[in-house]
Structure 1
């Protein structure tokens, strides 16, 4: 079987959309599954629907990556988006042709710097993981390439500035897709630090402020990547071998925080794609974090303790499903008063379609990572607002916190994890070492004692949770119920 390429598709009589030639308008730091099934997929659709003609140069941000595979396939790869829409299964397959080539700056740094002289280049996209946007004072201007991603970007922007001698209109739009708050602002801050560290001329700093737009963005699509178990069958169906097969869910939204004129400059709206340019992406992020992430964080540990292992199976359990519905509609939506209720209910309907996706086996233990900080960011604000508005505590969110206490009741530290048991099944709790050491120190506590210690740990929650009226008492009540009747019984009681 031949490898996917333009020549292979021609031999097969492929009749789908392809764009072999185009203008390299986008430089992309990151060539992994997410960007290829999200940003590059959107660019490909915009090319087809609007005639934008944009090509992406993908840059390998670390020494090991997929550049060689991308170039061997002429930048082509196949994306499968699969999920539920309005209760029905949807499968969308597309050969994406928006990538022109991939660069490995660790082997040919000059090829990356040469892109700075391209007058058609306008956008830089990045997804270098949450740890990618960080200032490392050891990264040097004369390295080939500099160590950190912000250092690489600073060096590239300086090359751009030098090539065009600080000319107006030659600036770039930076679209940061890393999963941290205010990602564009943080990236801009790091670039400023390198400008000072490397003692670059003041005129360059002025050009950055005047000509380069750093956009924070919110990205939302579950991308499951290479379908290892299905790859052979999918390749046989397609008639070609694709080492870059990529899979994800149907749902997607990309919110770009930037000037209004970007909405007209970028062709995504014209193409009918779920890309929004907004002055502030905070409302969109808050809705996602409170609703999707909030209900996930609430149900995941309790579901695992009740015997489940993946999200999809949880959604097939009537008690867990009803618990989650009531959590969203009765406890989360009522406190999001700045949004129209109809909009929140529409988002909730889509949320449950996503969680029920029959094509994704999302591990509960994978989602359980770092639940301490997740609960603080995703759930605690809703608990406080619900209590302030009603004078009561939200029962389902509180049951989720009780499950957190029980789940984190470990036995011993092994490496970077705390070992615990669900019956005869061993599982590993992964969180910050400070958190794990705290729970190991309290491993001999009764559940009631542990609950008290957890609630009073102001370092976890930026405050003592026992100061919230009834908080510790309700958590203790649920823990007693878990021990007496089992976790699943709580799902049944609170879902009815």
Structure 2
């Protein structure tokens, strides 16, 4: 079987969109599955539908990982992307050959080739996803490192090369699109770059150029990307008629919020291409919507659903009680705490249910349960407090979800793997920070009242004493008592009456 290449596609009379030649106008730090199924997909569509006419040069941000780089270059930057899931109530499986990638670089093997990209006058955009740990300032990095160890260090070196080449010309800086999953990712990246500029004594003119000629955009990215379909790859390649070592898969849903000036649209034609990309002066309401509704829904129902005997998110969506509990939590208790237009929030909530039903993703409840303590604090507690502030009463489903959380963590044996607990005679392992697991192990024999009080008053967990929330401790005790007597499923059912 021939490898994926332009020649192979020509021999197959491929009738999809392909871009063979175009200037490299985008530099992307990160060559992994997510960026290729998200940013590069959107760029590919803009090339086709809005005349963006841009190639993307990829740069691997860490020293390891040349296998992907080699595959990308061997396949001339081409790869097949499958976007799969439910859309408007129908199962969808869309295939697209992505042709916007030109090549992939390893700066640890050829640093000068990366820097040479800064000399390209056509280059205008920089995208990145270097993981949550990627945007970090490491003072041990030196300007003379080839390259700097940290991503912000590499970016500073790259920007300085650009400044040396085009510093006297307006409009030669970059629009920088940070996709890392941290708060204010663009602003945090800019802070790190400015620290390096100062540490390395690169001059006030360079610092002024960074701030005047470059736009560091904080962004919110939303798409579940499942990556290379290892179990299906052989069959997929046989159906495709070519060998593709870079097949990528993700859900059909995608949404990108970019915080920056409206003028970005003049250069980044997302509207003309009809893409689900929003350019706004404030991305935070949309991040809050995602965290509260999508992530909050996950965290509020999965622990109770697992204790009720379920294992996969999709299966929960086909159970009227569990799905009903989730929807009641979202529509009755989370949406009333948010400030975006109600119809927008309801549309997003409807998309969440479709996403959770995705037949192509086996999303394990135990996988979602990892680090549930910090997740409940970040994703659900703001809705609890917001509801109480606006309604003056407790949100029943959210309060019950806290009892589900305690019941799930009420294990009995601490091991190196985690805290062992039981579900209907079968054991499972609770995984969280060491201090969290040790806390629950120490309270494994507590009465309902003592356990709930200990959890609620653990300020290290919640940043505050939750017994101060009127009626909360008592209500959680009631729900936990019901759980021990009848199980989480019956509690969910009772809340739907």
- What band does the TM-score fall into relative to the shorter chain? over 0.9
Cα pair 1:416 1:433 within 8 Å, conserved: no
Which deviates more, 26-35 or 196-205? 196-205
So what's the TM-score if we normalise by structure 2? Answer: 0.97
The equivalent residue for 2:459 is: 458
Q: Is structure 2 residue 42 aligned with structure 1 residue 42?
A: yes
Distance 1:444 1:38 in 2: 48
How far does the alpha carbon of each residue in 1:178-220 deviate from its partner, in whole angstroms, 9 at most, with x for none? 0111000111111111112222211111111111110000000
Measure, in 1, the Cα distance between the counterparts of 2:444 and 2:136. 35
User: What is the aligned partner in structure 1 of residue 63 from structure 2?
Assistant: 63
Q: Residues 270-313 of structure 1, C-alpha deviation per residue, up to 9 Å, x if partnerless? A: 10001111000011111111111111110011111111111001
Does 2:25 correspond to 1:25?
Answer: yes
Greater shift after overlay, 424-433 or 448-457?
424-433
Cross-structure match for 1:433: 434
The residue aligned with 1:94 is: 96
CA distance in 1, matches of 2:418, 2:155: 35
Q: How far did 1:98 drift?
A: 0.7
Distance in 2 between residues matched to 1:304 and 1:28, nearest whole Å:
39
Q: Hey, what's the Cα distance between the residues in 1 that align with 2:83 and 2:275?
A: 15
- Residues 430, 162 of structure 1: alpha-carbon distance in 2 compared, 3 angstrom cutoff: farther
Do residues 156 (structure 1) and 158 (structure 2) align?
yes
Give the paired residue count: 495
- The one of 251, 258, 261 aligned to 1:259: 261
1:329-367 deviations in Å (ceiling 9; x for gaps):
11112222x222222222221111111111111111221
Mapped to 2, the partners of 1:13 and 1:132 lie a distance apart of 42
Question: Does the 8 Å contact 1:417/1:429 carry over to 2?
Answer: yes
The DSSP-based 3-state class of the residue aligned with 2:439 is: helix
Q: Distance in 2 between the 1:88 and 1:168 partners? A: 49
How far the C-alpha of 1:164 sits from its partner, in A, is 2.1
Deviation at 1:412, TM superposition (A): 4.0
Aligned residue number for residue 308 of structure 2: 306
Q: Deviations over 1:356-410 (max 9, x none)?
A: 1111111112211222222112111111121222222111111111111111223
Query: What secondary structure sits across from 2:97 in the alignment?
Result: strand
Which residue in the other structure is 2:171 paired with? 169
User: Which stretch shifts more, 174-183 or 352-361?
Assistant: 352-361
Q: Indicate the residue corresponding to 2:213 in structure 1.
A: 211
CA–CA separation in structure 1 for the residues paired with 2:421 and 2:153: 41
> Measured at CA, do residues 167 and 433 of structure 1 come closer, stay the same or move farther in structure 2, by a change above 3 Å?
farther
CA contact under 8 A between 1:3 and 1:242: conserved in structure 2?
yes
User: Structure 2: how far apart are the matches of 1:430 and 1:114?
Assistant: 46
Change (3 A) 1:472 1:269: same
Q: Match for residue 75 of structure 1?
A: 77
**Secondary structure of 2:118's aligned partner:** helix
Distance across 2 between alignment mates of 1:142 and 1:133 = 20
Superposed counterparts of 1:224-235, under 5 Å: 224-235=226-237
Matches of residues 91-490 of structure 1 in structure 2 within 5 Å? Answer: 91-336=93-338, 338-415=339-416, 417-490=418-491
CA distance in 2, matches of 1:259, 1:399: 42
Rounded to whole Å, the distance in 1 between the matches of 2:415 and 2:99 is: 46
Please give the alpha-carbon distance, in whole angstroms, between the structure 2 residues aligned to 1:413 and 1:204. 54
Question: SS of 1:3's equivalent?
Answer: coil
In 2, are the aligned partners of 1:161 and 1:167 still within 8 Å (CA)?
no
Cα distance in structure 2, aligned partners of 1:329 and 1:353: 15
8 Å CA contact retained: 2:317, 2:323: yes
CA contact (8 A) 1:166 1:204 kept: no
Q: Are residues 387 and 212 of structure 1, via their aligned partners in 2, closer, same or farther at CA, if it must alter by over 3 Å? A: same
Contact 2:167–2:209 under 8 Å retained in 1: no
Q: TM-score, normalised by structure 1?
A: 0.97
Alignment partner of 2:44: what SS?
helix
For 2:387 and 2:134, how far apart are their aligned partners in 1? 36
Say if 1:418 and 1:147 are closer, same or farther in 2 by CA, change over 3 A. farther
User: Bigger CA drift: 458-467 or 35-44?
Assistant: 458-467
Q: By how many angstroms is 1:442 displaced?
A: 2.5
Shift of 1:71: 0.6
CA distance in 1, matches of 2:155, 2:49: 31
| Aligned equivalents of 1:259, 1:466: Cα separation in 2 | 44
SS for the counterpart of 1:128 is: coil
Partner-residue secondary structure (3-state), 1:139: coil
Instruction: Quote the Cα distance in structure 1 between the aligned partners of 2:295 and 2:219.
Output: 17
2:199 and 2:446 map into 1 onto residues whose CA distance is 50
Equivalent pair of 1:82/1:248 in contact (CA under 8 Å): yes
Measured in 2, the distance between the counterparts of 1:184 and 1:102 equals 23
